[in-house]
Copies of this chain bind each other. A is one copy, B any other.
Amino acid sequence: METPLEKALATLVYTFHKYSGKEGDKFTLSKMELKELVKKELALGEKMKDSGIDKLMGTLDKNNDDEIDFKEYTGFLSALCMTYNDFFQQDAK
């Protein structure tokens, strides 16, 4: 039986591929695909302007190939998790 943690990890993988397959290389996110993912899957993305997406793309795209591969995506998720954890820990104090 799949545990909550395994379901969560599977969701992270599924969400990447939900958008990465839309254009170009189906295993990487173009800027358009990243923008759509962020705007549809993250509350913080709803109000994000194109300049914010450009900045995010620049931060995540470590090898400067204008694509976000899965490893770069996990870096993004780790940063998001760290932010969530900071809120969690402040609440717990």
Contacts and interface: CB of A to CB of B under 8 A. Distances in A.
Interface string A1-40: 0111111111111111100000000110000000000001
User: What is the size category of the interface that chain A forms with chain B?
Assistant: 35 or more
Nearest to A83: B9
Which among A7, A12, A15 has the highest number of chain B CB atoms within 10 Å? A12
Counting every copy of the chain, the complex holds: 2
A53 to B, nearest CB: 16
A81 B42 contact: no
A27 to B, nearest CB: 6
Given A70-B85, A74-B81, 18 more contacts: A3-B42, A4-B11, A4-B41, A5-B12, A5-B15, A5-B41, A6-B43, A8-B8, A8-B9, A8-B11, A8-B12, A8-B15, A9-B81, A10-B84, A70-B82, A71-B78, A75-B78, A77-B81
